[in-house]
Amino acid sequence: MPQHSHDTQIDESQPQPLTKDPSCRRRSQRCHQAILSATIELLEEKGYSGVSVEAIAARAGVGKQTIYRWWTCKAGVIMEAYADYAAKSVPMPETGSVKEDLRQILHQLSTILTTTSTGAALAGLIAEAQANPEMADVFREKFVASRRAMTRTILERGIERGELRPDFNMDVAIDVTYGPVWYRLLIKHAPLDETFVEELVTMLMVWMQVQ
C-alpha cells in the first residue's frame, strides 16, 4: 500500500461537504485523532445509534465545538473515522485473472465488513444517507465510487484480454457484484462469508465469460 503513508493528505486535500475548512491552517493532530478514535470506540460499543456528538466529545476529552469546527455532523465524523478501512485500503489486485481479482476484492470487502465495526458503521451511514441527499453524495464518492471504478477497470481489462465477452452491461455487472454483499450486510438473513463470496464470483464469471 504505497499510498497509505500520505493518509492525512488524502483525507483533507479534497474538499468534502461534510467536513469544513479544507485549508486547515491549524488543527490539533491530537484532538483530531482522539475524536476519530473515540468515534470508532463508541461505534463498536454501542452501535451506530449509540454514537452521539456529545458522547464523542466526552470520550475524546474535547469540546463539542471542536467537532463542529471540522465536521458538519455526526455522519461526517463517522465517515472520516472509517475512511481508511473502506476506501483507501483497497489495493488494486493484479493477478491477471478477472475471477481472482474479483475474489480478492470481495473477500477483502466482506472481511472488513464482518470482522470490524465497519459493517455497522456503513450500514448506519447508508441509513443516514436516506434522509440526507448531501450525505448520500459524499457516501457514494467516498465508499462506493472507488470500488466501482476499480472493478470497472478490472472488467475492462478482462474484456481487452478476451477473458470476458464485451457485450454485457458494465454498470449492472458491478451492481451484481456489490449488491448482494450489501444486501447480506444490511438484511442479515444469511452470513456474509467465504462461501457466499465464492458462489457470487462463480456466478458472475459464468455470466460474463465468453461462452
Partner DNA sequence: AACTAACCGAGACGGTACGTCTCGTCTTCGC
Partner DNA sequence: GCGAAGACGAGACGTACCGTCTCGGTTAGTT
Q: Which residues bind a second copy (CB under 8 A)?
A: 47-50, 120, 123-124, 126-132, 136, 139-140, 144, 148, 168-169, 171-173, 175-176, 178-184, 186-190, 196, 199-200, 203, 206-207, 211
Q: Which does 26 bind (CB under 5 to 8 A by kind): DNA, a second copy, none?
A: DNA
Residue 67 Cβ vs DNA, minimum distance, rounded to whole Å:
8
71 DSSP β-pair partners: 19
Between CA 11 and CA 19 the distance in angstroms is 10
The span from the CA of 52 to the CA of 92, in Å, is 35
Per CB under 7 A, does 134 bind DNA?
no
Q: What share of the chain is helix, strand, coil (3-state, %, to 5)?
A: 75, 0, 25
Quick one: 131 or 206, whose CB is closer to DNA? 131
Contact predicate 72/17, CB 8 Å: yes
Smallest separation (angstroms) from DNA to the CB of 140: 20
189 near DNA, rule: CB under 7 A: no
CB 105 within 8 A of CB 158: no
Distance CA 37, CA 65 (A): 17
Q: State which of positions 45-64 bind DNA (CB under 7 A).
A: 52-55, 60-64
Q: Closest approach of Cβ 34 to DNA, in Å?
A: 7
